[in-house]
Amino acid sequence: MSARNATPVISPDRQQTPRNDNNAIEQEAEEEGKAAVVLKNPSYMDREGPPLDDCCPICFGTFDVPCKANCGHWYCGSCILQYWKYSGPSSRCKCPMCSSRISNLTPEASLHGQQEQEVVKVLEDVRRYNHVFVGGVRGLARKVHVVPFLFKRMLEEMMDPDGHNFFLYEKLMRMFAIFLAILYISSPFDFIPLGRIGVVRLFEYMSMLLAVTLRLAGIFRRRRLNQRVRDLAAAHLGH
């Protein structure tokens, strides 16, 4: 028989490999389709409580004061607020699961009737978060209402030695100081002894001094906490 008419012999392993690859691809596509169906299922998005077989994606523990984001993911109320605090309180929190902006947190319906102090505090913080990031005139009025809350958060961020927005807040304080200086210049009052320093420079120096004082106070507080932890650990080992 000539070489042109010879039938090539293919081993069973080579015949089975493409079939196995196709089966793996079909199985992966089927799993992705099931996941997409679950995410689009209204019962998943409108669920009144977190899944029973799930855990908080931040602390990996059971849900404590569970809250649902507008994207459908569930978190512990304190966990997602703490995550927002360290990511920057000046903008909406990003969902750790899908990176979408969280504009609203919905606590579990059964939590509203509880009177525990910790639960009430977390629900109040969630309510404040929802009020901060509401648009329109109503949102502007609510932002003005929660200005003291944001100012307190800014001071806490500046006192945190691990804070990443210290210089940003320091610049904001300097701008606010310059604004106050302009108001003072335009007012008929003149009760601050300036000397050779202008009023704008004086207010700017005062804001910088306040920022440095807050950071030093935060470092001192961190050292005291670390010392207390070491003392407690030494006392525990002594017993």
> Nearest CA to 160 among 56, 91, 87, 94?
87
Positions of the chain with pLDDT under 50 = 1-21, 29, 31-45
Q: What is the predicted pLDDT for the residue at 168?
A: 74
Query: For the domain 45-145, what is the CATH code?
Result: 3.30.40.10
Q: Which residues of 51-70 are buried (b: 16+ CB within 10 A; e: fewer)?
A: eeeeebbeeeeebebbbbbe
* Tokens representing residue 203 in the block: 């207010």
CA torsion sign for 95, 121, 225, 61 is: negative
Q: What is the predicted pLDDT for the residue at 68?
A: 92
Sequence ranges of the domains in the chain: 45-145, 155-238
Fill in the amino acid letter for 37: V
C-alpha 194/C-alpha 49 separation (Å) is 61
* Tokens representing residue 35 in the block: 């996941």
End-to-end CA distance of the chain: 93
Query: What is the signed CA dihedral for 200, 205, 211, 214, rounded to 10 degrees?
Result: -130
> Nearest CA to 215 among 177, 158, 176?
158
